[in-house]
Amino acid sequence: MKLTLLELVQDILNDLDSDEVNSISDTTEAIQVAQIVKTAYYEILAGRDWPHLKSVINLDAVGDLTRKTTLKLPEEVTELIWLNYNKIKDGETKRRWLPVDYKYPDEFIRETNQRNSDSDTVEVMTNEDGVEYLIKNNSAPTFWTSFDDEHIVFDSYDSEVDTTTQASKSQAYAYRTPAWSVSDAFIPDLPGEAFSFLLSEAKSIASLKLNQVADEKAEQQSKRQRRRMSTKAFTAKGGIRYFDYGRKGSRGLNNRPRGGND
């Protein structure tokens, strides 16, 4: 069952034998507990790749015509899983969503360095540090890299279709970090069954920080929930795949991979 931030704070304050509140802003202690819940929440999110935080997104434009093949990852993205681009050609109306392959920065530079900078179909670009690289202007992107883990740099763009690569033509699958709001009605972005884990983690931290006493029961609940959630982060799909390496038996055969291995 999912709980609002106020409900989480009220439950924790009750365990601490603290004053009852009708709003997080009622007492300084309630505000402190809300901050503890936030800390516990982001610690839980950092513990694994949560499937519900994956989504298909567009990249952001950079608004810089001197960097014609550069787009930017949205701030909330923590990991890019795969990337497609609409490689529609001049005069076509049918979408052509096709994969764009990743290359490590040294591979990207090595391959683009082989291009002829005197050719009309090759242009000289610079990265964030002013280092040159060569792009093609007669074809849609075929591969990409990132020099700073923030900007996505493609190897080419089709000048017959666009003047630069277009954010609207990107199609990325990525993990995102959800926003947090200090409001009574805010509901942390977790699966319903993970809320008991969040609550026990926050209770354990709050007892130690605010009462200077370890809550052994809360810690036991937290450990139990942590063990359970380590093998159950999915709602719509599987769990951890256990490989049997040729051994007989059914363990793992009906389980699906976790994280980005889908």
Residue 165, domain member (yes or no): yes
Q: What angle do CA 48, 49, 51 make, to 5 degrees?
A: 130
Domain co-membership, 15 together with 74: no
Helix (H, G, I), strand (E, B) or coil at 160: coil
Mode of pairing for the β-strands spanning 101-102 and 143-145? parallel
Q: Is the pLDDT of residue 261 over 80?
A: no
Please give the residue range of the domain that contains residue 13.
Answer: 5-50+190-229
The pLDDT score that the predictor gives to residue 256 is 35
Residue 14, domain member (yes or no): yes
The pLDDT score that the predictor gives to residue 130 is 84
117-145 pLDDT, tens digit per residue, is: 999 999 999 887 888 999 999 999 999 99
Residue 184, domain member (yes or no): no
Measured between alpha carbons, how far is 194 from 228 in angstroms, rounded to an integer? Answer: 10
157-208 pLDDT, tens digit per residue, is: 999 999 999 999 999 999 999 999 999 999 999 999 899 989 999 998 998 8
Residue 89, domain member (yes or no): yes
Torsion over CA: 113, 118, 121, 126 (sign): positive
Domain co-membership, 149 together with 111: yes
Domain co-membership, 152 together with 225: no
Domain co-membership, 84 together with 137: yes
Buried b (16+ CB within 10 A) or exposed e, 2-31: ebebbbbbbbbbebbebeebeebebbebbe
Residue 98, domain member (yes or no): yes
Query: Of 146, 148, 168, 164, nearest to 156 (Cα)?
Result: 164
Q: Is the pLDDT of residue 249 over 60?
A: no
Domain co-membership, 75 together with 138: yes
Number of domains in the chain: 3
Query: What is the number of residues in the chain?
Result: 262
Domain co-membership, 57 together with 169: yes
Domain co-membership, 16 together with 116: no
Residue 118, domain member (yes or no): yes
Q: Where are the alpha helices (DSSP H) in the chain?
A: 5-15, 28-46, 105-112, 195-210, 216-229
Structure tokens at 129: 């540090």
| pTM attached to this predicted model | 0.73
Measured between alpha carbons, how far is 91 from 117 in angstroms, rounded to an integer? Answer: 28
Mean pLDDT of 82-97: 95
The pLDDT score that the predictor gives to residue 226 is 52
Measured between alpha carbons, how far is 171 from 168 in angstroms, rounded to an integer? Answer: 8
Domain co-membership, 111 together with 40: no
How many angstroms separate the Cα of 240 from the Cα of each of 2, 31, 233, 244, 258? 24, 37, 9, 13, 5
29-81 pLDDT, tens digit per residue, is: 999 999 999 999 999 988 888 899 999 999 999 988 889 999 999 999 988 99
The pLDDT score that the predictor gives to residue 208 is 87
Torsion over CA: 64, 66, 71, 73 (sign): negative
**Higher confidence at residue 49 or residue 233?**
49
Domain co-membership, 57 together with 46: no
Domain co-membership, 95 together with 14: no
| Average pLDDT along the chain | 84
Domain co-membership, 155 together with 211: no
Cα-flanking dihedrals φ and ψ of residue 107, to 5°? -70, -40
Residue 203, domain member (yes or no): yes
Domain co-membership, 262 together with 204: no
The pLDDT score that the predictor gives to residue 121 is 97
CB 101 within 8 A of CB 141: no
Residue 185, domain member (yes or no): no
